[in-house]
Amino acid sequence: MFEYAPAPESRALVTFQSSYGHFIGGKFTKPSNTYQTISPSTEQVLAEISTASAKDVDLAVKAARSAYEKVWSKLSGAERGKYLYRIARIIQERARELAIAETINNGKPIKETRDADIPLVAAWFFYYAGWADKLDYAGFGVNPKAHGVAAQVIPWNFPLMMLAWKIAPALAAGNTVVLKPAETTPLTALLFAEICQQAGLPDGVVNIITGFGQTGADLIAHKDVNKVAFTGSTGVGRLIAKQIAGTNKKVTLELGGKAANIVFDDAPLDQAVEGIINGIFFNQGHVCCAGSRLLVQESIQDELLKKLKRRMETLKLGDPLDKNTDIGAINSKAQLDKITKMVKIGVKEGGEAWAPNCEIPSKGFWYAPTVITGVAATNTVAREEIFGPVLSVLTFRTPAEAVAKANNTPFGLSAGIWSEKGSRILKVADQLNAGVIWANTFNQFDPASPFGGFKESGYGREGGRHGLLAYLKGDN
Amino acid sequence: MTKNEPEAIVGGKITNLSLRRWLHSLPGVDKVGLESRAAGLGTRSIKTTSKTWALDAAIKMMDLTTLEGMDTPERVRSLCLKALTPDPTDPDCPRPAAICVYGDMVSVAKQILGKSGIYVAAVATAFPSGRASVAVKLQDTKDAVKAGADEIDMVIDRGAFLSGNYLEVYKQIQAVKNACTRADGSKAHLKVILETGELQTYDNIRRASYLAMLAGGDFIKTSTGKVTVNATIPINLLMLQAVRDWYDQTGVLIGVKPAGGIRTAKDAIKYLVVVKEVAGERWLSPDLFRFGASSLLNDVLMQRQKLKTGNYSGPDYVTVD
């Protein structure tokens, strides 16, 4: 009947070079010690990427230091703002190209990169461009000073968006940066390096080095780094915290999560279903603030799950470049294996896994959207982050029980509340231990709104006025 | 008492209080969430084979409409002929489901459409405002049925609904349903117009949908086309959720008819996407989904010609109606 014909976005807008060096001091170095980056939806090799050695890291930090001392720290806020506005505009102009590139290298659907990732990237630069000449009014005293060189290590789930979250406030506050993208998703960061050139950003203000965990560790350990910003797993976050203990480096960590999405019996059910879907299947669930634990009031469990499963039947999994695709590819084989293993454990511990019938492409890494019902608070899938399209369903009877179960996790990044009763939303939100709480919605991001976690979800805030604090002296 | 009797569904004798309790126990509708879901479905990309299918489907599901004070027998006749041959250049072009006219034009339309398979629908019950005595509304309905109307599009009493008199709305729908009975005992198909633009809130629209389904409407229809806000995608989505959930609960299939303001093929396709993804493919049929539209047909015809020939033809190559 009414089957959607394939509607793939053309790849012609994007040209990747066959190999990339690092972007240091405004120039690309000669590619060296390379590895291959692939498209997770086709396993096709996209480019050869260099692995930065400790020496490369040193060069990058030196370039950032030199740019800081000689150029960037001497510019007025208004001048810095001009560069940021210019970058923001170029991102908008090249939005389509960046969306396609991100989709190819990350595996997420074009619908998301086009409508969420790239617009937010531009918004982040516009927002912080506006702050650059107004730091006196940010509430940290008159003429607050930058830290100097910021070392930034970002994950693969929102490659360019995480870059924007890190670089935009750092530059607005007057720092220079060395950024390392995740090893599986370096390409949009390297395109961003081209954008810095296009914008005429002074050499060395932004440096981008690629590589694996060791490169990140070398960068964070570098003695001339003043500020460390990391987004990624709690495990690596712990290592970083240990590594910089006893140094003068400032640090912000944005780590894992196991968010509760709480649905009360008076919730707007059809919209709650949409919120649950958006909460856990957006970006294949590769979202640190994903609503991975559904806490549903026992009295509406059957009705809600029925609606949820029916809605899941309509999700389209497949070619991420197709405009009709809802669920793209898992970013890497390693992540796919982890998700597969976690679901197996979930079932072994008594959960019941269900996924709609969807065809899995033969090439690439894929995982069907899955819901595990009958999960108890003691189960692994209720406690550990899966970081995939897998929803664990728990029930509660009273608001107090919902709050207790929601807070019963080492994490504290985000939470969702669904109820038509405003007073209940306010009371429950007040009791939840999470950095971001959404009411009757989920996964909404805005550069003006601070984002960050409690407990093992990290510390420091990104976004908003609070996000500037991390990049200015006199904060902590 | 079987499970589908109104008393069983409401959980007791039908009184204004029991109706109120039942309607107000339905889950609320979050405006922001509903509208963002509707906008999300609007980005589905429909091309090539799926577009061909959707354009033909849009014609087959159309109630080609003329509801003007200036309607004349000649005007209605012309529209009926257009329905019989929507595109004279293409004998394969499907026909609309029905012609929708005022009650006094039913016999004119029936004369031309006869046994063509194209239904004649009549608006009744003091359309569009519905502000007349119940006796007048019923007579209006009976006249149209007697003249041969296959379908009756009635309006609910919005005043009664907004004042909380759900029982009155319910009784009127039931009475009109009875008035749809022909001499041979068969019944004209009843579409219940909620006039969503006057109900204003999504919660009201959901409640009115349920009330109309409970009272025996075969279709729930958004609008008369005579107020400022007529059919919108979020309202269409909400009403499709209602018929889907109603089917789950009762096993009874109810149709949905958005009307007013759907002018382009592009819009129509967006509506069909919502039908498919919210209610399911079963509803992609003229038995369960209709467009109430006047100018939509020509835009769909132009899009069809574009798909066939590769070129936009322009309004000179479709007939005026």
Which pLDDT value is given to residue A476?
41
**Predicted confidence (pLDDT) per residue in B235-261, tens digit:** 999 999 999 999 999 999 999 999 999
Closest partner CB to B241 (pick from A3, A270, A275): A270
Q: How far is CA A386 from the centre of its chain?
A: 15
Say if residue B26 is exposed, middle or buried (CB neighbours under 10 Å; 0-12, 13-18, 19+). Answer: middle
Measured distance CA(A228)–CA(A22) in Å, rounded: 20
Q: Would you call B33 and A323 a contact, using CB atoms and an 8 Å cutoff?
A: no
Interface test with B, best of A4, A278, A302, A420 (most B CBs within 10 A): A4
Which of chain B's residues have a Cβ under 8 Å away from the Cβ of A324? 44-45
Query: With a CB-CB cutoff of 8 Å, which residues 417-446 of chain A face chain B?
Result: 420, 440-441
Q: How far apart are CA B126 and CA B35, in angstroms?
A: 32
B279 DSSP 8-state letter: I
Point out the residue among B29, B32, B272 whose CB comes nearest to the CB of A2.
Answer: B272
Nearest-CA distance B31 → chain A (Å): 9
Residue matched to tokens 């005043």 = B159
Beta bridge partners of B256: B220, B289
Partners of B43 on chain A (C-beta within 8 Å) are 111, 115, 323
Q: Does A266 touch chain B (CB under 8 A)?
A: yes
Write the CA distances from A10 to A296, A323, A365, B83, integer angstroms: 42, 11, 21, 40
Q: Are A450 and A467 in contact (CB under 8 A)?
A: yes
Contacts of B35 in chain A (CB under 8 A): none
DSSP codes, A293-356: EEEEEGGGHHHHHHHHHHHHHT--BS-TTBTT-SB---S-HHHHHHHHHHHHHHHHTT-EEE--
Q: Is B164 exposed, middle or buried (0-12, 13-18, 19+ CB in 10 A)?
A: exposed
Q: Which of the residues B63, B140, B153, B267 is marked catalytic?
A: B153
Q: Which of A183, A288, A384, A385 is catalytic?
A: A288
Q: Among this protein's residues, is B31 annotated catalytic? A: no
pLDDT of residue A349: 97
Q: How many pairs of residues across A and B have Cβ atoms under 8 Å apart?
A: 69
Q: Do B67 and B225 touch, CB atoms closer than 8 A? A: yes
Q: How many CB atoms lie within 10 A of CB A61?
A: 23
Q: Between chains, do B45 and A2 touch, taking CB under 8 Å as contact? A: no
Interchain CB contact of B276 with A (< 8 Å): yes
What average pLDDT does range B190-194 have in this prediction? 98
How far does the CA of residue B262 sit from the closest CA of chain A (Å)? 20
| Catalytic one of A9, A102, A112, A254 | A254
- The reply to whether A77 and A213 lie within a common domain is yes
Q: Nearest residue on chain A to B277, judged by CA atoms?
A: A314
Whether the CB-CB separation of A101 and A314 falls below 8 Å is answered with no
- Residue given tokens 């919660």 in the structure block: B203
Q: Which among A267, A440, A441 is the nearest to B27, CB-wise?
A: A267
Q: Is residue A1 part of a domain?
A: no
Q: What is the pLDDT of residue B3?
A: 76
Looking at chain A from residue 115 to 134, which residues have their Cβ under 8 Å from any Cβ of chain B?
A: 115
Task: List the CATH code of the domain at B16-317.
Answer: 3.20.20.70
Contact yes or no for A271 and B34 at CB 8 A: yes
| pLDDT tens-place values along chain A, 476 residues long | 799 999 999 999 999 999 999 999 999 999 999 999 999 999 999 999 999 999 999 999 999 999 999 999 999 999 999 999 999 999 999 999 999 999 999 999 999 999 999 999 999 999 999 999 999 999 888 999 999 999 999 999 999 999 999 999 999 999 999 999 999 999 999 999 999 999 999 999 999 999 999 999 999 999 999 999 999 999 999 999 999 999 999 999 999 999 999 999 999 999 999 999 999 999 999 999 999 999 999 999 999 999 999 999 999 999 999 999 999 999 999 999 999 999 999 999 999 999 999 999 999 999 999 999 999 999 999 999 999 999 999 999 999 999 999 999 999 999 999 999 999 999 999 999 999 999 999 999 999 999 999 999 999 999 999 999 999 996 44
Largest separation between any pair of C-alpha atoms in chain B: 61
Q: How far apart are the first and last CA of chain A?
A: 62
β A260-263/A414-418 pair status: parallel
Describe the crossing of helices A234-244 and A213-221 by its angle, rounded to 10 degrees: 30
Nearest CB to B30; choose among A111, A268, A324: A268
Q: Which residues in chain B have Cβ-Cβ distances shorter than 8 Å to A7?
A: 45-47
Interface membership of B34 toward A (CB under 8 Å) = yes
Count of beta carbons in the 10 Å neighbourhood of residue B3:
9
What pLDDT shows up at residue A56? 98
* B135 CB neighbour count, 10 Å cutoff: 9
Any A CB within 8 A of B35 CB: no
To which residue do tokens 């959930």 refer?
A: B245
User: Per-residue pLDDT tens for B40-50?
Assistant: 999 999 999 99
Rounded Cα distance, B88 and B85, in Å = 6
Give the H/E segment covering residue A99: helix A95-106
| A268/B contact by beta carbon, under 8 A | yes
Distance (Å, whole) CA B126 – CA A251: 72
Are A5 and B48 an interchain contact pair (Cβ–Cβ within 8 Å)?
yes
Nearest Cα neighbor of B283 from B237, B316, B315 is B237
Q: Is B142 a catalytic residue?
A: no
Which residues fall within 8 angstroms of residue B46, CB to CB, at 6 or more apart?
A4, A5, A7, B54, B269, B273
Q: Does A398 fall in a domain?
A: yes
Instruction: List helix spans (H) across A396-457.
Output: 399-407, 422-431
Residues A225 and A296 in one domain: no
pLDDT of residue B112: 97
b (16+ CB within 10 A) / e for B182-195? eeeeebbbbbbbbb
Q: Is residue A423 part of a domain?
A: yes
Q: Are residues A235 and A300 in the same domain?
A: no
Q: Cβ contact (<8 Å) for A323 and B43? A: yes
What is the enclosing helix (H) or strand (E) of B137?
helix B134-146
Hunting for tokens 């989505």 — which residue is that?
B237
User: Which pairing describes strands A206-208 and A176-180: parallel, antiparallel, or unpaired?
Assistant: parallel
Q: What pLDDT is stored for residue A475 in this prediction? A: 46
Q: What is the CATH number of the domain that holds A103?
A: 3.40.605.10
Query: Mean pLDDT score of chain B, rounded to an integer?
Result: 96
- For residue B54, give the nearest of A2, A270, A272 by CB distance: A2
Question: Going by DSSP bridges, is the β-strand pair B98-102/B62-65 parallel, antiparallel, or unpaired?
Answer: parallel
Point out which residues pair with B154 in neighbouring strands.
B192
Structural domain boundaries enclosing A162 = 11-255+455-469
User: Which member of B221, B267, B276, B299 is catalytic?
Assistant: B221
> Which residue, among A1, A2, A312, A420, would best test binding to B if mutated, counting the most B CBs under 10 Å from its CB?
A2
How far is the C-alpha of B155 from the C-alpha of B173, rounded, in Å?
Answer: 9
Q: Is B320 buried (19+), middle (13-18) or exposed (0-12) by CB count in 10 A?
A: exposed
**Domain count for chain A:** 2
Q: Which of B63, B122, B53 is nearest to B97 (CA)?
A: B63
Residue A328 contacts residue A282 (beta carbons within 8 Å): no
Q: How far is A112 from chain B (nearest CA, A)?
A: 11
The enclosing H or E element of A50 equals: strand A45-50
CA-to-CA separations, A269 to A262, A266, A407, A439, B238, in angstroms, rounded: 12, 8, 23, 13, 12
d(CA A305, CA A371): 9
**Position A141, amino acid:** G
The answer, for B270 touching chain A at a CB cutoff of 8 Å, is no
In angstroms, how far is CA B215 from the centroid of its own chain? 16
**Do A326 and B41 meet the contact criterion of CB atoms below 8 Å apart?**
no
CATH number at residue A355: 3.40.309.10
Do A424 and A322 fall into the same domain?
yes
Confirm whether A354 is domain-assigned: yes
Q: Render B144-190 in DSSP notation, one character per residue.
A: HHHTT-SEEEEE--HHHHHTT-HHHHHHHHHHHHHHTB-TTS-B-EE
Q: Do A310 and A225 sit in the same domain of this protein?
A: no
Catalytic residue among B142, B177, B257, B276: B257
Residue of B nearest to A418 (CA): B30
Q: Are residues A121 and A143 in the same domain?
A: yes
Kindly list the residues from chain A whose CB atom is less than 8 angstroms away from the CB atom of residue B52: none
Residue A446 resides in a domain:
no
Question: Which of A4, A270, A323 lies nearest to residue B50, judging by beta carbons?
Answer: A4
Query: Over the stretch B89-114, which tens digit does the pLDDT of each residue have?
Result: 999 999 999 999 999 999 999 999 99
CB contact, 8 Å: A279 with chain B?
no
- Contacts of residue B281 in chain A, CB cutoff 8 Å? 1-2
Least CB–CB distance from A324: residue in B28, B36, B44: B44
CA atoms within 13 A on the CB side of B292: 33
Residue tagged 């993804």 (tokens): B277
User: Cβ B47–A271 below 8 Å, yes or no?
Assistant: no
Annotated catalytic residue B153: yes
- Which residue in B has a C-alpha nearest to residue A321's C-alpha? B45
Give domain status of residue A411, yes or no: yes
The verdict on a CB contact (< 8 Å) between B45 and A271 is no
Alpha-carbon torsion, ordered A141, A126, A181, A173, to 10 deg: -20
Kindly state whether residues A246 and A264 are assigned to the same domain: no
Compute how many other C-beta atoms are within 10 angstroms of the C-beta atom of residue A33: 11
Is residue A341, in this structure, part of any structural domain at all? Answer: yes
Query: Nearest to residue A367, comparing CAs of A307, A323, A318?
Result: A318
Nearest residue, CB atoms, A5 vs list B29, B30, B47 = B47
Regarding whether A157 and A101 lie in a shared domain, the answer is: yes
State the Cα–Cα distance between residues B110 and A185, nearest whole angstrom.
Answer: 66
